[in-house]
Structure 1
Amino acid sequence: MSQQRSLPKSVASVLNAFDSLGDSFKGAITVDAEARITWIDDRYRELLGIPAAADLIGQRVEEVIPHSLLRRVVETGRPILIDIMAFDDKQFVVCRLPLRNEEGEIQGAVGFVFYEEIDYLAPILDKFETMQRQLSRAQAALNRERQTKYSLSSFVGASEAVRDLKTVVRRYALRDGAALILGETGTGKELLAHAIHQQSDRADGPFVAVNVAAIPEALLEAEFFGVAPGAFTGADRKPRKGKFELAHGGTLFLDEIGDMPAALQAKLLRALQEGEFEPLGSNTVKKVDVRIIAATSQPLEQKIEDKSFRADLYYRIAVLAIHVPPLRERLDDIGLIAEALLETIPRPRDQRGWLITPEAIDQLTRYRWPGNVRELRNVLERAAAMAPSEVIDLALIAKALPREATPTGAPPIAGDLSARLADAERAAMLEALAAEDGSKSAAARRLGVSRSQFYEKLKRHGID
């Protein structure tokens, strides 16, 4: 016989409905608005191993069933339609529903045990768990994409130019104004945008990046401001958020902003000035709190003069301007950058890591690097692909560099005449080795000296 108090009408009707299902469930329990037990049937007592004489009415449900979630159902008003609940060494498949009165107020909750063995639901539960894992991985991947990938330490270099640049970035990160990053392609502008966000008060918010040049002009407005349901033929019936809305509370990075069409520039300016926008096909204005970081490799002042870029938008985004030096202006950093890049380049399983020789680094400093760090990575990847071992030497770098590459010339040499002559001789030997793909005999012939003299000079100058 079930133990119970006088049950409210709504509770009794629910229990009567389930009672008609007979053996479809194995036990039931109800609690009041304070999650105290008001009723439990004999079958549930038997499953739990509780004597019929034990008085459970009025006890907190967790005192009897430690892993019960009926209190959560009471507090939230939301059902838990299917769950696996542990009790001692058993596992039950359970369902939990809120109970409401005629006014819709929460009176309590009811829980049912459908199965006392989960084997019945094993195939369904396995599929459900697989889908949950896939969903979790997808959500985690999406969250990672919307977080910063780099910090300021990712911008490698120890030259004075880099030290000054990092000082500016740290200072600007503490402010919330729009920032414009100027620099040639491949200098690391997006990396610095990540670093600014990561060190700002918005670091816990999303970081959303958009390459303006990579999106067809016809899709730019929808990409930035989103699309209302049925905005155009073929549009989704559900609203689609734009990058501005996705970046709410965080940072929106606009790469290659110099390629933005004039029509969109006006809408972007309004969004920046007013902090609001209208999705495509909608009359609803949405408020947004976003910090803008823009970047370009184009001379925006010149584009303003030829009327292809709005001056008022330029002044809005260039509140804080950051100039990134090209690689040719910080050649002293090439060694550090090359070593950092090599750590990210795949290597054979039997190798512990890539090693680059001083002569190879010296040769890298003699190229002008029009593609900057991106081109340097390409050259190192090419050299690594050709390397027979883990050592990347002068010969490999000479092969990997563009054929039309010419030395930039050594910087002015300080010191007396003998030091100047020694440095000039060393530079000539390195150039000869590079031209002859690392062949010492051929390099000696190219310089018009004997093989033994050449080897002696190699040793004197510390060239392997």
Structure 2
Amino acid sequence: MTYNNEDFFPKATSETELLIDKNTIEWFYKIFDPIPVSMILVDKDTNILMINNEFCKFLEVSKDEAIGKKVIEINPNSRFPIVMRTKKAEIAWKHTFANGHTAIVHRIPILNNENEVLYGFGMVLFDNMEEFHNIIVKNKLLQTEIKHYKQVLKKIQGAYYSWDNIIGNSEKMAQAKEFGKKTSKTGSTVLITGESGTGKELFAHAIHNASRRSHQPFVKVNCGAIPHDLLESELFGYEEGAFTGAKKGGKIGKFKFAEGGSIFLDEIGDMPIKMQVKLLRVLQEKEIEPIGATNPIKIDVRIIAATNKNLMYLVEKGDFREDLYYRLNVMTIEVPPLRERIEDIDTLTKSLLVKLSNKLGVYVDSISKEAIDILKGYSWPGNVRELENVLERAMNLGEEGKILPIHLPSYITKKDFNAKRNTACRQLSEIIEEMEREIIIKYLKDTKGNKLKTAKLLGISRSCLYDKMERYNLSV
């Protein structure tokens, strides 16, 4: 059908080069008429330039009745006059037409470079509200299912935690997290050091989940919890008949399970020397050899190791291989102890209360300032793990949803009392320890890690230096 209303299709002027002529309208119909979506085009005065077949059926009008008329003559409820006046698009609006149909529509003003309205384009996104409702319901169900399966997948893969689960904004924790995030972007071996209970495993999870291996397995192995004579078969597996008692079909080791992903070797300092040799081969050659196998197997696994021991001290004692230490010590992250980030106790406590409330079903949502002050005055040798245990105990004893000093264990409250009574002594001890630690660090840097030279400069024996390094969790 061709429309020849010359008054309706004005000629192009110097004011605008985008004016639509009748040939363009004919092309619009060729494009939009076959599409089963209602569409309309109006000029700056809201006169209808084009309306496709689908919209005509929806409005129950013919094209002859609609073309050239103002849109409000066809649909008195139209908001196009408002859209053209405000120059603001209305996206996914619920609109009830004059014929009683309710739909979800788009109304979009088309502007020139001078921000002047040239045309208005409209489209009915959903002409059936029940269909629209069903799509929303299905989408919500789909999102719920996706979330559920993502959680299941993470459980299968083994890594549950992300950087959001590591609580703390203190300077030392922020530095550790920032370095960890940079580390996660590489494929290098990672060594996480820190005292027991500081959250080294959380860092390992977060590094894996932020890496390109995040959708691959994350396998955890506690090197200190597995008997030494079983550790090799646990890590590398064995072939059928490899030894007496070997199960039929053999066994796949942890490294093979972690193919394409990451393996977390916790308590790496407890690994026996015999296994350290085999681990070194894995790092150097990227291959494993199951017990009883005739040929090695190539693997693609990232190693993340963790320890609460001073590995360099173990190297000097002969309990840890020096070449393995340097292979592991590529990207080292030191997780600070809780006593060095006391300012994080407030946020840590709030987070742990939420976690423990969900676990225990005992809902405690607050802690008194006096109790917080006591927690901040304690040295926390057990770190965050100890804090969690203290809070769990307090929650079981607390009343009316609030933790008070009386709910804290006596060894913490007595320490706080003694500290208040003898603050000068406690502070002097802390100052001396801090200064000693800083001096040792400085001398180690000056001697480029040479323990013998450092011990001579400090006027102490080398074994004494090692004891102090282990005490202050120093590694070079």
Q: TM-score range by the shorter chain?
A: 0.5 to 0.7
Q: Are 2:399 and 1:385 equivalent residues in the alignment?
A: no
| Equivalent residue, structure 1, for 2:160 | 149
Cα-to-partner distance string for 1:28-67 (whole Å, 9 max, x where unaligned): xxxxxxxxxxxxxxxxxxxxxxxxxxxxxxxxxxxxxxxx
| Equivalent residue, structure 2, for 1:175 | 186
| Equivalent residue, structure 2, for 1:309 | 320
Structure 1 CA distance for aligned equivalents of residues 361 and 219 of structure 2: 39
User: Helix, strand or coil for the counterpart of 1:201?
Assistant: coil
Q: Are 2:282 and 1:257 equivalent residues in the alignment?
A: no
| Equivalent residue, structure 1, for 2:173 | 162
The answer to whether the 8 A contact 1:383-1:400 is kept is no
Unaligned 5+ residue runs, structure 2? Answer: 1-147, 425-476
Distance 1:350-1:231 versus aligned 2 partners, 3 A rule: closer
Which of residues 201, 204, 214 is equivalent to 2:212?
Answer: 201
Distance 1:183-1:407 versus aligned 2 partners, 3 A rule: farther
Q: Report the alpha carbon displacement of residue 343 of structure 1 after superposing the two structures with TM.
A: 0.8
User: Helix, strand or coil for the counterpart of 1:248?
Assistant: coil
Structure 2 CA distance for aligned equivalents of residues 165 and 348 of structure 1: 28
Distance 1:282-1:350 versus aligned 2 partners, 3 A rule: closer
Q: Are 2:331 and 1:320 equivalent residues in the alignment?
A: yes
Which of residues 297, 316, 326 is equivalent to 1:286?
Answer: 297
User: Helix, strand or coil for the counterpart of 1:162?
Assistant: helix
Q: Are 2:308 and 1:297 equivalent residues in the alignment?
A: yes
Q: Are 2:280 and 1:269 equivalent residues in the alignment?
A: yes
Q: Are 2:270 and 1:244 equivalent residues in the alignment?
A: no
User: Helix, strand or coil for the counterpart of 1:344?
Assistant: helix
Distance 1:407-1:145 versus aligned 2 partners, 3 A rule: farther
Instruction: Look up the equivalent residue of 1:222 and give its one-letter code.
Output: S
Which of residues 322, 335, 340 is equivalent to 1:329?
Answer: 340
Q: Report the alpha carbon displacement of residue 357 of structure 1 after superposing the two structures with TM.
A: 1.5
Number of matched residues? Answer: 277
Structure 2 CA distance for aligned equivalents of residues 267 and 359 of structure 1: 53
Instruction: Look up the equivalent residue of 2:305 and give its one-letter code.
Output: A
Structure 2 CA distance for aligned equivalents of residues 372 and 323 of structure 1: 14
Q: Are 2:397 and 1:376 equivalent residues in the alignment?
A: no
User: Helix, strand or coil for the counterpart of 1:267?
Assistant: helix
Distance 1:280-1:375 versus aligned 2 partners, 3 A rule: same
The answer to whether the 8 A contact 2:357-2:364 is kept is no
| Equivalent residue, structure 1, for 2:378 | 367
| Equivalent residue, structure 2, for 1:220 | 231
The answer to whether the 8 A contact 1:174-1:199 is kept is yes
Q: Report the alpha carbon displacement of residue 239 of structure 1 after superposing the two structures with TM.
A: 2.3
The answer to whether the 8 A contact 2:362-2:395 is kept is no
| Equivalent residue, structure 2, for 1:432 | none
Cα-to-partner distance string for 1:84-138 (whole Å, 9 max, x where unaligned): xxxxxxxxxxxxxxxxxxxxxxxxxxxxxxxxxxxxxxxxxxxxxxxxxxxxx9x
The answer to whether the 8 A contact 1:379-1:401 is kept is no
Q: Report the alpha carbon displacement of residue 352 of structure 1 after superposing the two structures with TM.
A: 5.0
Distance 1:234-1:406 versus aligned 2 partners, 3 A rule: farther
Structure 2 CA distance for aligned equivalents of residues 223 and 335 of structure 1: 41
| Equivalent residue, structure 2, for 1:189 | 200
The answer to whether the 8 A contact 1:180-1:293 is kept is yes
Structure 2 CA distance for aligned equivalents of residues 406 and 327 of structure 1: 20
Instruction: Look up the equivalent residue of 2:313 and give its one-letter code.
Output: Q
User: Helix, strand or coil for the counterpart of 2:408?
Assistant: helix
Distance 1:338-1:287 versus aligned 2 partners, 3 A rule: same
Which of residues 326, 338, 344 is equivalent to 2:355?
Answer: 344
Unaligned 5+ residue runs, structure 1? Answer: 1-136, 414-464
Cα-to-partner distance string for 1:284-330 (whole Å, 9 max, x where unaligned): 31110011110000010110001110010011111001111100000
Identity of aligned residues (%): 45
Cα-to-partner distance string for 1:168-204 (whole Å, 9 max, x where unaligned): 1111111111010110000000000111111111111
User: Which stretch of structure 1 is more off in the superposition, 198-207 or 141-150?
Assistant: 141-150
User: Helix, strand or coil for the counterpart of 2:313?
Assistant: helix
Structure 2 CA distance for aligned equivalents of residues 350 and 222 of structure 1: 41
TM-score (norm. length: structure 1): 0.56
| Equivalent residue, structure 1, for 2:77 | none
Q: Report the alpha carbon displacement of residue 370 of structure 1 after superposing the two structures with TM.
A: 0.3
Q: Report the alpha carbon displacement of residue 281 of structure 1 after superposing the two structures with TM.
A: 1.5
The answer to whether the 8 A contact 2:219-2:258 is kept is yes
The answer to whether the 8 A contact 1:367-1:407 is kept is no
TM-score (norm. length: structure 2): 0.54
User: Helix, strand or coil for the counterpart of 2:355?
Assistant: coil
Instruction: Look up the equivalent residue of 1:209 and give its one-letter code.
Output: K
Structure 2 CA distance for aligned equivalents of residues 147 and 303 of structure 1: 30
Distance 1:246-1:409 versus aligned 2 partners, 3 A rule: farther
Instruction: Look up the equivalent residue of 1:169 and give its one-letter code.
Output: G
Distance 1:348-1:371 versus aligned 2 partners, 3 A rule: closer
Structure 2 CA distance for aligned equivalents of residues 191 and 226 of structure 1: 27
Q: Report the alpha carbon displacement of residue 397 of structure 1 after superposing the two structures with TM.
A: 2.0
Instruction: Look up the equivalent residue of 1:384 and give its one-letter code.
Output: M
Cα-to-partner distance string for 1:137-185 (whole Å, 9 max, x where unaligned): 9xx9686143311101111011111211111111111111101011000
Q: Report the alpha carbon displacement of residue 389 of structure 1 after superposing the two structures with TM.
A: 2.6
